Amino acid sequence: KNEVEQSPQNLTAQEGEFITINCSYSVGISALHWLQQHPGGGIVSLFMLSSGKKKHGRLIATINIQEKHSSLHITASHPRDSAVYICAVRSRDSNYQLIWGAGTKLIIKP
């Protein structure tokens, strides 16, 4: 079983829909990281969080440490949000290395 699981693997939605991507992990962590990978391949950081909630524009990330679960929400989705969204956790158990989810491929149709 992977230590970081993302769901769904693939998500297609219409423009304007509210999007939720989930990340569950099984290790002790010091922080969780959401990243975005565009079709061109580049990876950019969206959020780092260790508790609570963070918001940036239309993106909201939440984390529940007790439940070992995080969600990434996108409000008023737009075709330019189409990308792969990746969850990574900083593990306390593995010398603070990053453990990566496999990613969620999001397609927003106009």
Site residues, another protein (CB under 8 A): 2, 4, 30-31, 33, 40-45, 48, 86, 88, 90, 96-103
Name every residue whose Cβ is closer than 8 Å to that of residue 60 and which is 6 or more positions away in sequence. 53, 54, 72, 73, 74, 75
Give min distance, CB of 22 to another protein, in A: 15
Give min distance, CB of 70 to another protein, in A: 13
3-state secondary structure of 81: helix
Q: Please report, for residues 91, 93, 95, the alpha-carbon distance to residue 85 in angstroms, rounded to integers and kept in the order given.
A: 19, 24, 24
Cβ proximity to another protein, 102 vs 107, nearer residue: 102
Cβ proximity to another protein, 77 vs 87, nearer residue: 87
Cβ proximity to another protein, 4 vs 108, nearer residue: 4
Give min distance, CB of 35 to another protein, in A: 8
Give min distance, CB of 92 to another protein, in A: 12
Question: What is the separation, in whole angstroms, between the first and last Cα of the chain?
Answer: 36
Give the number of other Cβ atoms within 10 Å of residue 88's Cβ: 21
